[in-house]
Structure 1
C-alpha cells in the first residue's frame, strides 16, 4: 500500500484541507479528506475486470462545502461523533448531571463531520487523523481526543481503527456514514442482495428513537438472516432506517453484513467490533450534482453504520456509551470487497 497527500487549496478556521489517497497492489484506491474524515472514493476492480467506484460522494472538496448540499445534508461519507444516531430529545445524564444537546441526528449542529482533523505521522503506509473536541463542544462534557486510522490492505479491506480518551466523563458513539452502491451505473439498490446475522432489531418510536425493546426479526421485513433482495420486503416509500443487534459476542470482531450485486459481481462484507449495525437505505438522499455531474436520489445507496446501541445513554439495560478518564474507547470496522 502507498499513500499520496494532496492539498485542496481550501482552509477552514486557518486549517488546511488535504486529500489523502491510499493505493494497494491490486490498483484499488481510497481517497480520504481530513475534513470530516470523509471517504469520497473506494475504487476497486469488479468481476468484469472494470474499475468501479462503490462509494457515493463528490469529485472534489467543493461539493462537500456547497451551501445547497449542506442545507439538505445527508452526511455523505463522513465520520459521525461525538454521538451518532439519535438521543431522545437531545437529553441525557452522567452521574446525575443533566446535559442538553441539539435535537436530531449525529452529534449536534457541527459535529466531527464538519471539523478539519489533524494528520498525524505514521510509520507504515496508512492515514491517522486526530481531532480534539473541547469541553462543552455541542454541550458534551470533557476534552475528548479521537484518533481514526485508515488502512487499505492488499486484499481490498478498508480498515478503520478508532481510539479515543477523555479527561472527564462523557458519552461517545462513533460511526462512519459511508454510502455504497455496488452497481457500476448506480440507481436503486433494491436488487442488491443483503445478509445480516442479526436475530433482533431495536424498536423505534415515530421519531426513529430507540425505545429499549428488542424485537425478533423472524416473520418481519427485517429478517436478513438469509440473503435476500433489499427491496423484497421493504415499504418502497420508506426503505430501511433501522438498528440491528448483531449475533456475535460483545466486543469481538465479527460479520455485520454481506451485500452482493449481480451485474458487477461485487461483494461487500462489513466486519466490526461494535454490537449494532444501523442499516439505512438513503430515503432522504437528494443531491443534485455529485460525481461526474450525476445526482443521487432516494434509495440509490445503502449504509451499514456500525455503532453502539442508539440512545443507550438513556437506557441502562444497554451496553454503556459513557467514557471515563483512564479508559480508552476502541473500535474496529472493516469494509472488505471481493468478487
Structure 2
C-alpha cells in the first residue's frame, strides 16, 4: 500500500509499505477520506509529538473508511461496515480510568497512519472507540469526529455553567481561527454563549461568524488583545477564555484577558519545554482558574459523531481543499501558509 511516513521535521515521505493484516481483536480499514489537522501540521513542522508519535512513523489521525478485514475474536464488526476509528483508546484499568478521567490514562493506545490506503486498528480502539458512520453521512464530515471530540471535551472543562444559572449569556473570548478555534466557536455559540473570536485571517473570521461568533477581530488590527477584550466586556474581561493557537505569548494574553473568577482554557499545545510567565497577584486575587485540556474521551467521541451527523453546524465548511494522497505534502505547505483550513485527502 501507499502510505505517508514522517521521518522528521518537515520530512514527510510517501512510501510503499506492506498491506496490514489483523491480529486478534483488530480490524483493517480501507481509508476513504483522511483529513489534515492543526496537530498534524505542528507535528510535521516540529518533527514529532510528546505523546502521540515518534518518527519514523506512519502519519495522520483523522479518517473515515470501511472495514476490509477482521481479526480473530471480532464479532461486533463485519467487512463493509463504514466506520470512524478514534486515534486512541484508554486502557480502562489504570488509576485515572477508574475515576473516568480517560484523557489522563497512563496507558493510552495511540494509533497513527490515516494518510495511507489502509490502516490497522488496534484491539483497544476496536473495543472502545470504533463507531459506525450513520447512513447518508459524508465520509469527509465523519472524519472530523476526532478533533470535534477534543473540542467538546475542552468545552465541557471550560467552566460554562448551566443556562438556568445565567443572568446574561457568558462572554467567551476564543483566540485562534484555525479549525480547532472555529470548532470552539460553533460549539460554544450553539450552547448560547456570546463568543468573541480573535484570529489573523479575515476569511476565517467570516466563517467564524457563520458558526455563531457574535463579534470578530483581526489581531493584526488590535494593538492589545487583553485591552480589546476588556473594552468589549465593560472593563471586566471575558468570563471564559479559550486559547487555541499553541503560542506561549498568546497563552499570556489569554490569561490577561480574563475577568476575576474566570476560567482560562489553555487548549493549544505549545512546543516542548516552553514556559510562560504568570502574574501571581493576578492569579491569586482574581481567583483565576487556569485549565490545561488534552485530547478526548470515549463519551465525547460519540457525542461528536452525533453532532456532526445532525449537521446543525456547518463544520463541513472547515474542509477547504481536496487532494489525492500523492499531494499530501503540498497540502501541508498550504496549511502552513494559511491557504487551507483542513484538506480532505483521498488515498484511492
Do both share a fold (TM > 0.5)? Answer: no
Higher helix share: 2
Q: TM-score, normalised by structure 2?
A: 0.31
Higher strand share: 1
Q: TM-score, normalised by structure 1?
A: 0.31
Structure of larger gyration radius: 2
